[in-house]
Every structure is written in structure tokens, then in C-alpha cells.
Amino acid sequence: MTTTGSSRLTTAESQKGNMTVQSDSSVTLIRPPRGWQAINLRDLWLYRELVYFLTWRDIKVRYKQAVLGIGWAIVQPILTMVVFTVIFNKFLGVKPDAGIPEQYYPIFSFAALLPWQFFQGALQRASSSLVSNSNLLTKVYFPRLIIPSSAVAAGLVDFGFSFLIMIGLMIYYGVPFTLTLLWLPLFLLVALLTALAVGLWLSALNVQYRDVQHMVPFLLTIWMYASPVVYPIDVINVSKFWQVVYALNPMVGVIQGFRWALFGTNPPGWMFAISMGMVLVLLVSGIFYFRRMERNFADLI
């Protein structure tokens, strides 16, 4: 029987002498984590292709198993738009923003459904992503942030199809194509970051408390009514205070931005700035919380 202590002494010395052979970048140090950690950018960069492959897998699998395939990405928003128009516009008499003719309600609601359904799908997938990929988490190392990130990114394909419908609707209703449309990617990015930020929180919480997955559909329903999806944003004009509170919902800024880019109404102003600030807070805290919790994922899941 040999003890390992004595052999280490000699090998540690030899290692020093050979330091030039081993490039420093390939040395991984494994030690107990301490405190809060920021993102390990080097690792994220090394595994960048994995984001692409996992996103690609999610999209491919989703459409492979469904009979209607891509059709779902088209049918879903259209049907929702029809239902909203009948219930909220025809029955309840909800009108679009001032400056948009009432018969434009379908495209008015679709302009909000576009980012909303992307956000909803992305958040749903992201919050369950860690648990549904538990076989990966318990067996291989890679930056865990990749899992919720690719779950969010996988929604972009659906968004692309919905956007084609939007173009069709704009032609049908004769909405002019203006230069403000070029702002859309920015608002889409904000929606994506919001879904990622909340998704980071919820996915990490879901590992420990499976209650989260029961909470998410409920949360999304409330969230939708707290966002100007079926009604115009100027409905909320009770007081400045409530407008500020309302704007804390980042999706308020996103939807306001979409409607502005498409119809030129209600340009994003201070409310959008508040929404942006909120996204930043959620995202930074989400990353730190996620990084704090990820060391236990494999043990808890």
C-alpha cells in the first residue's frame, strides 16, 4: 500500500518544471464555490455552439411530433386574435388606442399578441427547462445558463411565423409600412431579455420547488391582463403613481413599443424607460440568483 502524500511532493515539483508544456488556459481548477458569482464568460464562449444545438433541438422536436407541425405557429395567434376580437371588442366594447379606427381591433390586438405569445412561450419553456433537461444536468458539465437561454431562443422561430401573419394583416388593413418598423428588433430584444430574466429566476426555483411549474400558467394569465394586450395603454390613466407601477411590468414597454412601431401611436417615453430599468434589474438579479443556485442543481434535481 502506498500513501499518496509522498508521491504528490515529487510530482508537484515536476509539474512546476513543465509549466510551459501545459498551456494555462487548459487547466481547470475545481474548488468549493464561495459567495455570489458573476458569469463565467470564458466558459460561455467555449460552449457557444451548444446554445445553437439545443435551440435547434427544441425547435426540431417540437414540430416533428405535431401533426400540424409549423401550422401551430400560425393557427394559435390567429385564433387568439379572433377570440379577443369577438369577446373584448364586439361584446365588451374595448376600443384600440386613440387614432386607430375601431374596426382595426384585430390587428391592434395582434400587434400585442406578437411579442406577448413569444414571451409567454419562452417563459413557459425556460421555467421548466432545467427540470426537463435533468438528465443533462446530472451527467455533463456545461454552463447551466445555456439551458434557459436556448429555451427562450427557440421561441424566435414561432415569432418569425407570427410576424409573417402580421405583414399579411398590415397589407389587408392597409397599415402603411414606415421606418419606425426598424425599431421592432429592439423591442423584441427587450421581450427576449424579460423572458430570460424571469425564466432564470423561475427555472432555478423550479429545481428546488416543483410548485413553480404549477404557478407559471397562472402567473402568465395574470401577467397578460396586467399588460396592454387586449386593451389600449391609455386605459391606465388613473394617476401618475399607478402609471409608474404599471410600467414596472417590462411587457408594458415592449407592447407599447410594438404598437408604436406598427401604428405610430403612443410613442415609448418615460414608461418605456421604467420598463427597461426593470428588465435590467430582473436580468442582473436573475443571473446572480441562477449562478448562486446552479452549484446545487445536480444534487437537487
Partner 1 sequence: MSDIAIRVDGLGKRYRIGALHASNYHTLRDSLVGLFQPREKQPNGHIWALRDVSFDVKQGQVLGVVGRNGAGKSTLLKLLSRVTEPTEGEAEIHGRVGSLLEVGTGFHPELTGRENIYLNGAILGMKRTEIERKFDEIVEFAEVDKFIETPVKRYSSGMYLRLAFAVAAHLEPEILVVDEVLAVGDAEFQRKCLGKMGDVAREGRTVLFVSHNMSAVLRLTDETIVIDKGGLIMRAPTPEAIDFYLSRGFSQEGQRSWESDEVPFNAAPFRPLAVRVHNPQGKVVNTIRSVEENTIEIEYGLSAPVTGLRVGIYLMSTRGEYVFTSFDTDDAAEFERLTVRPAGRYTSRCTLPANFLNEGRFVIGINASSYRVKRYFQDEQALTFTVDAAGAPGMHWPEARLGPVRPRLDWHIEAIEA
Q: By the criterion CB under 8 A, which residues form the site for partner 1? A: 1-5, 7-8, 11-12, 14-15, 17-18, 21-22, 26-33, 46-47, 49-50, 52-54, 56-57, 60-61, 64-65, 135-142, 295-296, 298-301
69: region left, alpha or beta (phi > 0 left; psi from -120 to 50 alpha): left
Classify residue 99 as left (phi > 0), alpha (psi -120 to 50) or beta. Answer: left
For partner 1, the closer CB: 8 or 90 = 8
CB of 180 to partner 1, least distance (A): 38
Residue with smaller CB distance to partner 1, 49 or 93: 49
Residue 19: exposure state from Cβ atoms within 10 A (0-12, 13-18, ≥19): exposed
What is the C-alpha to C-alpha distance for residues 206 and 214, in angstroms, rounded to an integer? 10
Quote the least distance from Cβ 31 to partner 1, whole Å. 4
**Least separation in angstroms between CB 41 and partner 1:** 17
Smallest distance from partner 1 to CB 127, Å: 19
Give min distance, CB of 38 to partner 1, in A: 16
Say how many C-beta atoms besides its own lie within 10 A of residue 219's C-beta: 16
Q: What nine digits make up the cell of 211?
A: 410548485
Q: Which is nearer to partner 1, 120 or 133 (CB)?
A: 133
Our CB check for partner 1 shows the closer of 116 and 297 to be: 297
Which of 231, 297 has the CB closer to partner 1? 297
Written as one string, the DSSP assignment of 253-281 is HHHHHHHHHHH--S---HHHHHHHHHHHH
Kindly report the CA angle at 69 between 65 and 75, in degrees rounded to 5? Answer: 130
